[in-house]
Amino acid sequence: MVDLSQYLPILLFLGVAIALSSAFVFLPMLVGRLTGSHQPNEQKLSEYECGFPAFEDPRSQFDVRFYLIAILFIIFDLEAAFLYPWAVSVFSLGWTAWISMMIFIGELALGLAYAWKKGALEWE
């Protein structure tokens, strides 16, 4: 027979987590309705991010250039994520770590040069 009392702390933790997350989601909505700040009207429901109504179907396809820029951003963002821990510990790792990081940066520079040559960074 399995002793289920060992799982009691986990169940308590899950219960508290669910209760707190539900409170953080539903209490602001309840307070908004009770205080009267929840009064939707045409101005509140209008577009606020771009400032003008959508002129196309929101489900239309995006231009592939958006995806190329996003992929390039992710690549160079990951490069920065790999560079920081390396820079902190490069002196204790020795020349092998320095040479391998220079190869890594060189590969990324070649990729950037290729994307630049192909015109992936140009916007019309």
Q: What is the pLDDT of residues 27-63, one digit of tens each?
A: 999 998 888 777 777 777 676 666 666 666 767 777 7
**pTM to 2 decimals?**
0.44
Confidence of residue 14 (pLDDT cuts 50, 70, 90): very high
Q: Are 80 and 88 in contact (CB under 8 A)?
A: no
pLDDT higher than 90, residue 111? no
Confidence of residue 18 (pLDDT cuts 50, 70, 90): very high
pLDDT higher than 90, residue 15? yes
When the pLDDT of each residue in the chain is averaged and rounded to a whole number, the result is: 83
Specify the higher pLDDT residue, 50 or 102: 102
pLDDT of res. 35: 87
Helices (H), ranges, 36-94: 64-93
- Residue 58: phi and psi, rounded to 5, are -65, -15
Q: Are 114 and 72 in contact (CB under 8 A)?
A: no
Phi/psi region, residue 48 (left: phi>0; alpha: psi -120 to 50; beta: rest), is: alpha
Average pLDDT of the segment spanning 64-75: 80
